[in-house]
């Protein structure tokens, strides 16, 4: 089917904006945006009856003129990330079922081979607008934040990705678990057995390290990923145990690790000590967890009476 014939058939479905018209041929590599491609198709007169070009001014049956509001969406994103430190971002969106059904019907009916989904264009165009306002870069693999647009409701949800750093900890006090334990009786809800704290143990290595970290990063919480674990009644001395701390939903991402190490060690008051080594990524957690380590235990045994020969 010739492009002119395809365009005619597309426009028989109803009034269609340049963005959506161009997007039905969106994967053709002509160096044009979908908006430019759609306009070019109109200008070329590739419409039913070869009518003269008239700029689109109606209501697009596919997207409901979504792309007119791209600047407004970009401003919503910028407002939603106020107070967050970030260098890179990514825009995503939830597509209303009706829009997805509209374009998929045309793809199927006309057996289109090169359409681009509405979602892809939304993410790209709003992302470009946000980048122009903020000067921040889009990162498709590991963005600091993700702005999720809800096209149906007009809301913007911000997802803040975690920060990770690697270090080693020593534990000098027995009776401290590696990670937070909920009370066995109430499962964290709070009861008389745990003095309504929700905890089985009042402190953990995770919390002794994590509390100063949460403050420094303005984070929601901090999760310790250890290279194995020691018994609660054992100390961890020597060179210490490797760990990665995941800082969840940080509002601040640039923190001096040397200063943070000092703050943690002062706060832990000799119960736990850390040596923070470097920043790392989520993929390093799996590597840490899967690595096999050799341990050395030193045990003092006291017996009454003489030992048999």
**Catalytic residue numbers, as ranges:** 231
Cα dihedral across residues 190, 196, 198, 200: positive or negative = negative
- Which region, left, alpha or beta, applies to residue 227 given φ > 0 means left and ψ of -120 to 50 means alpha? beta
Alpha-carbon distance 189 to 196, whole Å? 8
Contact call for residues 243 and 227 (beta carbons, < 8 A): yes
Strand pairing category for 236-248 and 221-226: antiparallel
Q: What are phi and psi of 288, to 5 degrees?
A: -60, -45
* Radius of gyration for the alpha carbons in the chain, expressed in angstroms and rounded: 29
42 three-state secondary structure: helix
Over 154-202, what HEC string results?
Answer: CEEEEEECCEEEEEEEEECCCCCCCCCCECCCCCCCCCCCCCCCCECCC
Neighbours of 282 (CB within 10 A): 13
Q: Single out the residue of 127, 147, 135 nearest to residue 81, CA to CA.
A: 147
Q: Where are the beta strands (DSSP E) in the chain?
A: 88-94, 137-138, 145-150, 155-160, 163-171, 221-226, 236-248, 272-280
Strand pairing category for 137-138 and 236-248: unpaired
């Amino acid at each position: 089917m010739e492009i002119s014939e395809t365009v005619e058939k597309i426009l028989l479905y109803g009034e269609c904006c340049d963005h959506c018209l161009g997007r039905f041929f969106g994967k053709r590599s002509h160096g044009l945006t979908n908006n430019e491609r759609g306009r070019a198709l109109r200008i070329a007169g590739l419409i039913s009856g070869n009518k003269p070009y008239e700029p689109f001014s109606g209501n697009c049956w596919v997207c409901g003129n979504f792309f007119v509001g791209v600047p407004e969406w970009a401003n919503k994103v910028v407002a939603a990330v106020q107070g967050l430190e970030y260098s890179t971002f990514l825009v995503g969106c939830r597509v209303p079922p009706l829009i997805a059904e509209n374009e998929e019907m045309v793809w199927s009916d006309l057996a289109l081979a090169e359409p681009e989904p509405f979602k892809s264009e939304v993410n790209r165009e709003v992302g470009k607008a946000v980048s122009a306002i903020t000067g921040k870069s889009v990162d498709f693999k590991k963005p600091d934040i993700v702005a999720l647009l809800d096209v149906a409701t007009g809301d913007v949800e911000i997802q803040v990705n975690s920060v990770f750093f690697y270090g080693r900890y020593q534990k000098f006090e027995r009776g401290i678990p590696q990670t937070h334990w909920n009370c066995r009786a109430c499962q964290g809800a709070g009861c008389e057995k745990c003095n309504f704290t929700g905890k089985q143990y009042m402190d953990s290595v995770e919390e002794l390290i994590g509390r100063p970290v949460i403050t420094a990063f303005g984070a929601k919480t901090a999760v310790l990923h250890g290279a194995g674990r020691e018994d609660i009644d054992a100390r961890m001395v020597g060179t210490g145990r490797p760990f990665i701390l995941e800082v969840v939903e940080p509002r601040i991402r640039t923190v001096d690790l040397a200063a943070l190490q000092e703050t943690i060690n002062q706060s832990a008051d000799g119960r736990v000590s850390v040596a923070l080594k470097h920043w790392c990524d989520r993929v390093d957690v799996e590597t840490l967890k899967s690595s096999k380590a050799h341990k050395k235990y030193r045990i003092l045994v006291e017996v009454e009476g003489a030992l048999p020969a």
